[in-house]
Amino acid sequence: MAYYFDEPSRTFNEYLLVPGYSSKECRVENVSLKTPITKFKKGEEPKITMNIPLVSAVMQAVSDDKMAVALAKEGGISFIFGSQPVEKQAEMIRKVKTHKAGFVTSDSNLRPDQTLRDVIELKARKGHSTIAITDDGTAEGKILGLVTSRDYRVSRMDLDTKISEFMTPFDKLIYGKTGISLSEANDILWDNKLNALPIIDDNQRLTHFVFRKDYDSHKSNPNELLDSQKRYMVGAGVNTRDYEERIPALIEAGVDVLCIDSSEGYSQWQADTIAWVRERYGDDVKIGAGNVVDGEGFRYLAEAGADFVKIGIGGGSICITREQKGIGRGQATAVIEVAAARDEYFKETGIYVPICSDGGIVYDHHLTLALAMGADFIMLGRYFARFDESPTNKLNVNGNYVKEYWGEGSSRARNWQRYDLGGDPRMKFEEGVDSYVPYAGPLHDNVNLSLTKVKSTMCNCGALSIKELQEKAKLTLVSATSIVEGGAHDVILKDASSNVIK
C-alpha cells in the first residue's frame, strides 16, 4: 500500500524563531553571510563561495545578464534562464563575464568614416558612451580615436557629420600599453581625470579598456562576487534534453556554475546529465541538480555527483504544479528533511553537498527561517522580478506600478523541456501562471534591507554566521491565532505618508 507521512507538510509561515542568548559581539556589522554553493570534502574549501546566500531563479522573467551583474555586485549569483536558444544564453554569459574584468574588451566600436547618427544609434543599443574608433570598426582594430559624450552635441551638429571630424584623435589620447597592471592603469585614470583608458599593443591595436566606473563600483560594492580574473561570477540553467550542445557553449562563454532546471529532479535523466558532465569535464565543471523534497531525492542526486541540490516542488508564487498534479510538499518540511539527509551524508562520506531552498518565500523573515532550517542558500524568483534589473516590462496598472512575472511552466514561457515526461504533445498543460508583481525599485536597496533583517534576526539568535545559526536556532510551530497576533491588530492604522487614518 502507499506510504503515508505521519506529519503534515509545513510552510515557513507556520514557524517562528525563538531568541537565544546574544553577546555584545552580536551586532549586524559582525555577521557574515558567506556560504558555499558547491560541494567540498571535509577539511577543504569549496570551489565557489558566495558572499550572500541569495541566487536568482532560472526564469525568463528574472535572470538575464543585467540581473546577473546586479546580483554579483551584491555577492550572489544569477542563473541565467535556459529556455532560449543556446547562442543567446551563451551571449548573456559573455556579457556578464566581460562587464567587469578590470581589462574589458570593447563592445562599442565604429569607423572614422561613419557618422554621428551611427554614434547615437550605437549608444542607444549598447548603453555605453565611450566608443572606440578603429580602422575596421572592430574591438581588435587599429585605434584611430575615441568618442565620448563630451565630443559632440546633438542639438548643434548635423547627424551626417563624419566621426573623424569630432572624435578625439589618437595623437591626443592618453593610453596604456599591453602588459600594464590594473593598479597602474587605475593610477593613470585618476592622475589624468579620465573615465576610460584604452590599452593598446605595439601595433596600435586596441586590446582592452579600463574604466574608472569599475574602480568606483568595487569601492561601493565590497561584497561583489568575482572570479580569479576579477570578473563577475554567473550561473546558467540547463535541461536534460539538449545538454550535450548547451553545456559546452556555456562553458566556452565562461559560465561559473550550472544548474539542471527541472520541476522534479529525482530522475534518471538528471543522473545521466551529471554523468555526462563528469565523464567529459571531471569535477572542473560545477553543476547542481533538483528539485527534490525529501531525503531520498537528495541522496540520489548527491550520489549521482551533483555539486548542490535544490529543494522545492510547487511552492513558488507562480507555480501551480500542486494544483494541477497533486504533487509537492510544504517548503519548510522539505528543507528540514533534506538538511538532515545532507548532514547524514556528510557524516558518512565526508562530502558536504550544499542545499538550496527554492520557493515558498513570502516575507523577508522566511529567508532567515530557511537558513535556520538548514538551507545553505536560497533561490528567489518573485522577489527579484520586482526590481529595476529584472528583464520584464514595468507597467502602470490601475494607478500602481507593477512588473510582469510569469512561470517557466506557463504557456508564455513555453519551457516544456523543464516539465516534459513524454506523451501526446497536444496534451501539454500549464504548471505556472502569467502575472504581475508590485514594482519595488532598485535591487541594491532592497537586497540590503532584506539582508539587514536577516542579520538582525541572527543576532537575536546569538549567531554570527549561517552555520552558527543552524546550530543554535530554536524553532517553534505557531497556531493560526498566533500568526494573526504577529501582525498589527486591534488598532486603526494610519497612512504613513500622510498620517491619514485608513
Phi–psi pair at 477, nearest 5 degrees: -70, 150
Of the candidates 382, 82, 362, which has an alpha carbon nearest to the alpha carbon of residue 234? 82
Q: Which amino acid is at 426?
A: R
Of the candidates 214, 199, 195, which has an alpha carbon nearest to the alpha carbon of residue 140? 199
Q: 295: exposed, middle or buried (C-beta count within 10 Å: 0-12, 13-18, 19+)?
A: middle
- The residues, ordered by sequence, that sit 6+ positions from 40 with a Cβ below 8 Å of its Cβ are 46, 47, 351, 352
Task: Decide: helix, strand or coil at residue 475.
Answer: strand
Residue from 26, 319, 356, 459 carrying the catalytic annotation: 319
- Rounded CA-CA distance 60/253 in Å is 19
Q: Which three cell numbers stand for residue 331?
A: 517548503
- Residue 394 Ramachandran class (φ > 0 left, ψ -120 to 50 alpha, else beta): beta
Q: Which amino acid is at 69?
A: V
Residue from 10, 418, 459, 461 carrying the catalytic annotation: 418
Under a CB-based contact definition with an 8 Å cutoff, are residues 261 and 287 in contact? no
> How far is CA 49 from each of CA 42, 226, 227, 377, rounded to the nearest angstrom?
15, 10, 10, 10
Bridge partners of 351, per DSSP, are 41
Q: For this structure, is 319 an active site residue?
A: yes
Q: Which amino acid is at 195?
A: N
Show which residues are catalytic: 319, 418
